[in-house]
């Protein structure tokens, strides 16, 4: 029932995204420059929440635009109705719906759907990860200096050593290719599928990473914070890799290399 509801909600939101793409819709700005939200974000979110609460009216909801619907349930749905809103608002089809299900503090299900590429990533704790129903696994690269990486940049920058631009500069000066797609959920799924060897970002929210980080782990990869400790989507820092380049990427992010 959980999986069925998750996939129904993901499909419904994806349809709304696709139907409204490159049409006229309202765009507004949240806190910070170019931190956009569209009426399609809100419509997608409403469709997801309606489906979830119809099936599980007592479940906890955490969603990017609406915030929290707090209950005492051990189940929590973590929702990003459109991850990559700037891409979406500008007609760039690198965006997705991302939904995770948490039970007693552990992510147990995740779905990420890009309706423009028709790619549905799904993961279940302990049962692997799939792309359109076929199993996926992380890459086999062993050297970070020969890896293909992806990152993102927060809307506001903390004035700190080894910040987003400093790490990016070190990597590209070494000749390491680092891409920036504009959707953390897609970044993580593409690490899980072996398209990228690693991903790092300095400032994410739970709805950005909750589904995608399960995808990486279930595809055989590794996800930690910047200290190399167990990852929680409720803290901002993330490194997700195929596992083999993890130590090397940690060294770059922490200023020990470069």
Superfamily of domain 2-135: Fructose-1,6-Bisphosphatase, subunit A, domain 1 (3.30.540.10)
For the chain, domain boundaries: 2-135, 144-253
Q: State the pLDDT at residue 73.
A: 98
Average pLDDT over residues 10-18: 98
Is-same-fold flag (2-135; 144-253)?
no
Model confidence at 208: pLDDT above 70: yes
Q: Where do we find the tokens 């200096």?
A: 145
- Using one digit for the tens of pLDDT, what is the confidence trace for 54-74? 999 999 999 988 899 999 999
Q: Is 41 helix (H, G, I), strand (E, B) or coil?
A: helix
Q: State the pLDDT at residue 29.
A: 75
Model confidence at 31: pLDDT above 90: no
Angstrom distance (rounded) from CA 155 to CA 63: 19
Q: State the pLDDT at residue 34.
A: 65
Q: Are strands 75-83 and 60-63 parallel, antiparallel or unpaired?
A: parallel
Which residues, in sequence order, are CB contacts of 69 under 8 Å at separation 6+? 49, 53, 60, 61
Per the DSSP assignment, residues forming a β-bridge with 134 are: 131
> Sign (positive/negative) of CA torsion 58, 63, 66, 68?
positive
Q: Where do we find the tokens 């782990």?
A: 217
Angstrom distance (rounded) from CA 72 to CA 187: 32
Length of the chain: 258
- Using one digit for the tens of pLDDT, what is the confidence trace for 94-117? 999 999 999 999 999 999 999 999
Angstrom distance (rounded) from CA 12 to CA 144: 38
pTM of the model: 0.96
Second-level CATH architecture of 144-253: 3-Layer(aba) Sandwich (3.40)
Q: State the pLDDT at residue 9.
A: 98
Q: How far is CA 212 from the centre of its chain?
A: 5
């Amino acid at each position: 029932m959980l999986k069925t509801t998750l996939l129904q909600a993901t499909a419904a939101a994806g349809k709304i995204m696709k139907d409204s793409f490159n049409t006229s819709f309202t765009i507004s700005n949240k806190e910070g420059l170019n931190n956009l939200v569209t009426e399609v974000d809100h419509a997608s979110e409403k469709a997801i929440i309606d489906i979830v609460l119809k099936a599980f009216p007592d479940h906890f909801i955490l969603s990017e635009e609406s915030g929290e619907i707090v209950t005492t349930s051990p189940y929590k749905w973590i929702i990003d109705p459109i991850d990559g809103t700037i891409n979406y608002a500008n007609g760039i089809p690198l965006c997705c719906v991302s939904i995770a299900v948490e039970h007693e503090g552990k992510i147990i299900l995740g779905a990420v759907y890009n309706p423009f590429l028709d790619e549905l990533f799904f993961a279940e704790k302990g049962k692997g990860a799939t792309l359109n129903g076929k199993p996926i696994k992380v890459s086999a690269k062993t050297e970070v200096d020969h890896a293909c990486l992806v990152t993102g940049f927060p809307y506001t920058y903390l004035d700190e050593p080894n910040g987003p631009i400093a790490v990016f500069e070190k990597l590209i000066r070494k000749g390491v290719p680092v891409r920036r797609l504009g959707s953390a959920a897609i970044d993580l799924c593409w690490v899980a599928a072996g398209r990228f060897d690693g991903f790092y970002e300095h400032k994410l929210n739970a709805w950005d990473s909750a589904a995608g980080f399960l995808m990486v782990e279930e595809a055989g990869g590794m996800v930690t914070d910047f200290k190399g400790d167990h990852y929680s989507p409720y803290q901002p820092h993330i490194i997700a890799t195929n596992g083999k380049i993890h130590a090397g990427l940690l060294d770059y992010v922490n200023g020990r290399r470069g």
